[in-house]
Amino acid sequence: MNEREAEKFVKKDNVWKKPDYQAMLDAGSPLGVVYFVKKVRDSLGASPQYRYSDNTPEKRFARQKEYIDTVRQIQAVMEDVQTVADAMGVYDRFLVGNGYVDMVQGWGSGIHYSATEKGRNNPVITDKLARTLHIRSEAYFERDFTQKARKEQFGVPKDQKVPAGYAIHFYDGKNGYSRAGDWRPGTYYVTKGYSILQTNIESHEAALRWAKEFAGQRSKSGKVRFVPRQLEHVHRGGPDYRSGQEINGQDYLDTFGFRGGEFGNWMNQNDRQASLNMGFEALKDLASALQVNDKDIAYQGVLAIAFGARGSGNAAAHYEPLRKVINLTKMHGAGSLAHEWWHGFDDYLGTKMGAKGLLSEQPYLYPLFKKLVDTMKYKPESQEQAARRTEIQNARMQKNAEGWLDSAVLSSLKYYGDESTLEQYAALKTAFLSGEPGTVDKISTLKKQTAGRVIPKSERERLESFERILHGMQEQETPQIGRTETDYYRNSMKMGKECEKDGGYWDSNVEMTARAFACYVKDTLPYASDYLTGHAECALTFVTDKSGNTELLRAYPQGEERKAINAVFDEIVADLKLQHILTHEDITQPLPVKHVPLAENEQISMFTDSRPSVIGQLAAAKPAVKEKPVQAASKSTHAPEL
């Protein structure tokens, strides 16, 4: 494994495959014992944890090996656990037996355990793991494993599980809670917390069905993942870069310098030919839009491409940073090529600029990328926005100043003064809040005359500070122009709330730059190129606010914001050409006319004997697990995209 592969594949699920807990129960293993095995495995970290000192590839590799060895040690011990007695012996057998913990004889408290240096230096050995393994007695095991397993419905088939938070009870006619006496013995009732939801249900199956239906009605507001619509037609109005010819895989290798490529097994000959033709023209259009050399499209031989071969859930297309591959999923991928190409270029630039991953995740490494992110997310305020913000800030400042002033003097004036004193204070407070210099001195004098003491020094200094700020507010003739969030950024955050479970995808630098780049290419090309940018403006949905009003939400840049973002992309492309990361070309040349046509029924392939595909080798190395053809790929480390 290379470094990035090790980061991806050294995981608990690959070292200790998840056991078939249901099969263990079916084989007669006690419920608590199987649940114990599960909790022990769950207490292990999903991947290696690194110390601050693990700052070289060699040290991280050593930590990964240590993780694998330790997980396999605990797996070997757990595979022998069949009874409660076995479970109670795991702590000594694993932790003590492998030297992670020492048994220490106390003076009067018996034996206790202490972590050894080996245990302290191994990140797999955690307090969580030790607590799970430490079973004090059979009663403890019964309470913490067997009873908890029943409570969590562990081992209960999915279709038999009661919805979370609900419970089904049998009424035997003895201990009921009916005030009207209308509960029928021999029936079931459903509760949620301390609330009784339904009674007199004839059977457990009927009660379960009722609980599921009721719980389903309460969760109909779940979010729906956004999936772009497939283009009905793919239009293109640019030059005939193919010279009227059918494109084959070798044309991709020769023209763009792709490292390799592949097709999915489900793509027929017509699908492959159409994908090759449209993809070739789209990539030529991209080179024309950026005015770069064709070889820059594959980042000078770094990039590979796949059509319908490396699917990722519902994603129409995706980029895999681990293998540096763009995949377009049959016709669903049409329209997303510019978006995915940018992800690959973002990754390529990250390597060039010294980022650990995509450059958009560390934009400060390249000032123009930092400028791009700032331009996408923020814009200068309008005069009206600045005035409104200043008004709100001033009102907040005056409210705070008034509160501090009242707390410093008002109670004393009320206690020792009279109505005339309070009238003087009211006039002085008005002057103070308007920023009139010297007002704090006058208020302190008033307090001295009334209560016999001045404002304490610490409070006086704070009030004088407020006085200077309030005075400055009055002196400022026009509000200073600040910055505010762009509509693009706000709409991206709203899109995440509408279409994401956890958030952080739509408003990430990675996704926002990719959507903005697709719009940039669409605007730069003087003609339509749907296969390249057809999905540039597809990120939209209807949302309803609390008042029931519906609006169309667009999570892509528009108007003046879009022009500003496009200008920064112009700067980035120009600067990368100056740095010779990109090569300037004024004109994109068409493919030379071929004199040797494809043979009838020739299989279109992007693999050649002289230039085998890395992806193809990886796919060939995987054992077949199904009789029917399958897509040959590992899942992407990148989140599913458009």
Contacts of 353 (CB under 8 A, 6+ apart): 359, 362, 365, 366
**153 with 162: CB under 8 angstroms?**
yes
Residue type, position 481, single letter: I
- Of 35-49, 168-182, 217-231, 604-618, which range is least confident? 604-618
Q: How confident is the model at residue 105 (pLDDT cuts 50, 70, 90)?
A: low
- Encode 290-348 in three state secondary structure: HCECHHHHHCCCCCEEEECCCCCCCCCEEEECCCCEEEECHHHHCCCHHHHHHHHHHHH
Distance between CA atoms of residues 229 and 314, nearest Å: 11
What average pLDDT does this structure show over 204-225? 72
pLDDT at 605: 43
220: pLDDT confidence band, cut at 50, 70 and 90?
very low
Query: Per residue in 603-623, pLDDT tens?
Result: 334 433 333 333 333 333 333
Query: By mean pLDDT, which of 202-211, 290-299, 307-316, 482-491 is the weakest?
Result: 307-316
What pLDDT is attached to residue 613? 38
Please name which of 297, 317, 304 lies closest in space to residue 535, comparing C-alpha atoms.
Answer: 317
Lowest mean pLDDT among 64-73, 330-339, 431-440: 330-339
Asked if 77 and 131 touch (Cβ cutoff 8 Å), the reply is no
Could you tell me which residues come within 8 angstroms of residue 325 by beta carbon, excluding any fewer than 6 positions away?
303, 304, 305, 306, 310, 319, 615
Across 17-36, average pLDDT: 92
> Rounded to the nearest 10 degrees, what angle do helices 269-290 and 337-353 cross at?
60
Residue 584, pLDDT above cutoff 50: yes
Residue 348 has pLDDT above 90, yes or no: yes
Mean per-residue pLDDT, 48-56? 84
What does the alpha-carbon distance between residue 354 and residue 295 come to, in Å, rounded to a whole number?
22
Residue predicted with more confidence, 55 or 89 = 89
Average pLDDT over residues 512-519: 96
Q: What does pLDDT average to over the chain?
A: 83
DSSP 598-618: PPTTPPP-S--SSS--HHHHH
Rounded (to 5) percent helix, strand, coil in the chain? 50, 10, 40
pLDDT at 217 over 70: no
Confidence of residue 574 (pLDDT cuts 50, 70, 90): very high
Which pLDDT does position 174 carry in this prediction? 81
Kindly report, residue by residue over 461-472, the tens digit of the pLDDT: 999 999 999 888
| Listed range (336-340, 427-431, 522-526, 632-636) with the worst mean pLDDT | 632-636
Region of 47 (left: φ > 0; alpha: ψ -120 to 50; beta: rest) is beta
pTM confidence score: 0.56
Residue 105: helix, strand or coil by DSSP?
Answer: strand
Does 559 score more than 90 pLDDT?
yes
Per-residue pLDDT averaged across 595-609, rounded? 42
| pLDDT for the residue numbered 640 | 32
Q: Which of 302-306, 364-368, 533-537, 590-594 has the highest average model confidence (pLDDT)?
A: 364-368
pLDDT of 284 > 50? The answer is yes
Residue 591 pLDDT > 80, yes or no? yes
Q: What pLDDT was estimated at residue 622?
A: 39
From residue 311, alpha-carbon distances to 278, 303, 630, 634 in Å are: 19, 17, 10, 9
Query: What pairs with residue 550 in β-bridges?
Result: 544
Stronger pLDDT, 13 or 105, i.e. the higher one: 13
Task: Tell me: pLDDT of 508 over 70.
Answer: yes
pLDDT at 474: 80
User: What confidence score (pLDDT) does residue 152 get?
Assistant: 87
Give the pLDDT score at 565.
Answer: 96
Model pLDDT, residue 212: 86
**Residue 200 CB contacts under 8 Å (≥ 6 apart), including other chains:** 182, 183, 184, 187, 189
Domains of the chain: 3-151 (no CATH), 162-218 (no CATH), 249-379+488-621 (3.40.390), 383-475 (no CATH)
**Average pLDDT in the 422-444 region?**
91
Mean pLDDT of 414-429: 91
User: Which DSSP state fits 546?
Assistant: T
* pLDDT > 70 in the chain, percent: 84
User: Is residue 96's pLDDT more than 70?
Assistant: yes
Is residue 232's pLDDT more than 80?
no
Q: Are 106 and 119 in contact (CB under 8 A)?
A: no
Residue whose pair of structure tokens reads 């409070």 in the numeric block: 459
The pLDDT value recorded for residue 549 is 67
Determine the distance from the C-alpha atom of residue 451 to the mean position of all C-alpha atoms in its chain, rounded to a whole number. 61
Could you tell me the pLDDT band of residue 476, with boundaries at 50, 70 and 90?
A: confident
β-pairing, 304-307 vs 261-263, is parallel
Predicted pLDDT at 334 = 82
Of residues 506 and 552, the one with the higher pLDDT is: 506
